[in-house]
Structure 1
Amino acid sequence: MMTSRRDFLASAALLAAGLAVGPPLLAAPPKKYLGVQLYTVREAMEKDPAGTLARLASIGYNAVEGATYTGSQKFYGLTPSEFAALLKQNGLLMPSSHYRLGEEPTNGAPTLGTLLHGWDRAVDDAAAVGAKYMVCAYLAPAERGTLDHYKYVADQLNRAGERCQQAGLQLCYHNHDFEFVPQAGQRPFDLLLATDEKLVQLELDLYWATKAGQDPVALFRQHPGRFPLWHVKDMAKTPERAFTEVGNGVIDFKKIFAQAKQAGLHYFFVEQDTTPGSPFDSLTQSLAYIKKNLV
């Protein structure tokens, strides 16, 4: 996600099976990656990253998605090797992390660790921490603009994605709702989808797509295999359509998860930008629903 909303678990089943002469070998049990976007616990991560990661692991999450790298060019104040060690200590993976475009300056200076500034180092650091995906998390209002500007953004995504590919990583773009608002009869989202699909894939935020009036299943059908990452967050049954715990709102996750293969899903991450109480309580509730109903 981003600096202010960073609108910031991953789930995929990796199945190993083999055949031998004689009786077939039993397939290894699939590994279910249950991920959480660290933006949900951003305040706790700022104060105590070690304790926060340990608590998430104790709840039952086994994967996280980074929500901050911009500026410090570190992961929560730690070098890639230090953060990778902390993850390992808690039995966690970080297959994905969020980044900014970087067109918007910080205090009048270029914002480092972004697609436009310091991307080479960002890619190297992501690889060092064990990430597989780097995600352009958010476009600030000043980074959106006209359709022509979205074409510029798409070009920058292709360039950044090429650098990721050289390091064995995959770039993705994470949506909100503004990308679906038409300009001159065309949706910016479609311009972003017009990127090279080998270089740029999508992290579909199920909440924001739904809020924008989109059907995630229809998007999967129209663009099969293009959505290896999802953000799983629910929409409250209120006029405000606020964020709520997974299973507590109006989004039909069972219908969506049934199409995971068509989407190309590799990892999903629970994210709840704001919570009514402790974010750890909300994350516990969401995970209980996911384990019982979705995976």
Structure 2
Amino acid sequence: MTKPISVQLYTVRDALASDRDTVLSRIAEIGYRAVEPYDPTDDPKGFREVADDLGLSVSGTHAYALLSKEPAEVFDAIATIGTDLVIVPGGIAHEEFTTRDGLARTADLLNGLAEQAARHGMRVGYHNHWWEIEPEIDGRHALEALADLLAPEVFLEIDTYWAAVGGADVPALLGRLAGRVLALHVKDGPVVKGEPHTAVGRGVMPVPEILAAAPEAWRVVELDECATDVFAALADSHAYLSSLEGS
């Protein structure tokens, strides 16, 4: 695995809101060499300057803003922060993943955004939660049925934890989606809705098997909620994942 381990900045959203530069510095000190922002339109130039100074690359970015702002404005901000992987991390009604018609509408939306992204030299992807996994369409997880409707250039960022919460055998799911998956959200915990996450390696997720199923994908650590010190959990996660890569 040659790509550096990344971290989704939503993990540290509270601290980030008060002191972005210190937070990014702490992430770099832990050993992370890449980050995944969640709002590329928030001072993109300033973000890029700090990230460059710290040696942090941008593995990709979430971009809810694509669903509410002028896409060209959002793509310009993403170009400034320095990535070509643009991820829609939700914002689509859960019910759309329960029917064929809903999946068709979702695919049309993502394919349309992908066409616009291509004009900026970028690719659009989709990030799952449990509600795209739990419903089944013809005996398959809804996300798999959606993948059949997506243009070839549209990729997936699989949130491995939420896929497990939704009932998926995650390594098997990744195997079936091979070629679509460019990034993984690597997280751990009890695999129970509403319970806080743990450092990667401290929960019940089969992390080694998951990583082996998508060896070329970006590894992006995220803790949606954490019952312990979040920076300690990020450090433990980085140490664990580094040990797997070195084994």
TM-score (norm: length of structure 2): 0.89
Whole-Å Cα distance in 2 between the matches of residues 140 and 189 of structure 1?
13
Number of residue-to-residue matches in the alignment:
244
Aligned counterpart for 1:152 among listed residues 98, 105, 109: 105
Alignment of 1:83-102 (within 5 A): 83-100=47-64
**Structure 1: 5+ residue runs without aligned partners?**
1-11, 14-31, 101-112
- Residue 247 of structure 2 corresponds to residue 247 of structure 1: no
Aligned counterpart for 1:233 among listed residues 182, 187, 195: 187
Alignment of 1:1-295 (within 5 A): 12-13=1-2, 32-69=3-40, 74-75=41-42, 78=43, 80-100=44-64, 113-115=65-67, 117-139=69-91, 141=93, 144=96, 147=99, 148-182=101-135, 185=138, 187-236=141-190, 242-261=196-215, 264-265=216-217, 267-295=218-246
Quick check: 47-56 or 185-194, which moved more?
185-194
Change (3 A) 1:54 1:244: same
Q: Deviations over 1:34-63 (max 9, x none)?
A: 110000000111111111000100011110
Whole-Å Cα distance in 1 between the matches of residues 192 and 109 of structure 2?
38
**Structure 1 residue matching 2:112: 3-state secondary structure:** helix
Report deviation, 1:150: 2.9
Quick check: 145-154 or 38-47, which moved more?
145-154
Q: Which has the larger radius of gyration?
A: 1
Change (3 A) 1:172 1:283: same
Report deviation, 1:192: 2.3
Percent identity, aligned pairs only, is 32
Whole-Å Cα distance in 1 between the matches of residues 195 and 170 of structure 2?
17
RMSD between superposed Cα atoms in Å: 2.3
8 A contact 1:205–1:230 mirrored in 2:
yes
What is the letter of the counterpart of residue 173 of structure 1?
Y
8 A contact 1:197–1:226 mirrored in 2:
no
Change (3 A) 1:183 1:255: closer
8 A contact 1:162–1:199 mirrored in 2:
no
Report deviation, 1:238: 7.4
**Structure 2 residue matching 1:131: 3-state secondary structure:** coil
8 A contact 2:196–2:224 mirrored in 1:
no
What is the letter of the counterpart of residue 288 of structure 1?
A
Report deviation, 1:293: 2.1
Change (3 A) 1:258 1:47: same
Report deviation, 1:133: 0.6
Q: Deviations over 1:99-136 (max 9, x none)?
A: 22xxxxxxxxxxxx324631111112212221121000
TM-score (norm: length of structure 1): 0.76
**Structure 2 residue matching 1:287: 3-state secondary structure:** helix
**Structure 2: 5+ residue runs without aligned partners?**
none
8 A contact 1:151–1:191 mirrored in 2:
no
Whole-Å Cα distance in 1 between the matches of residues 191 and 97 of structure 2?
32
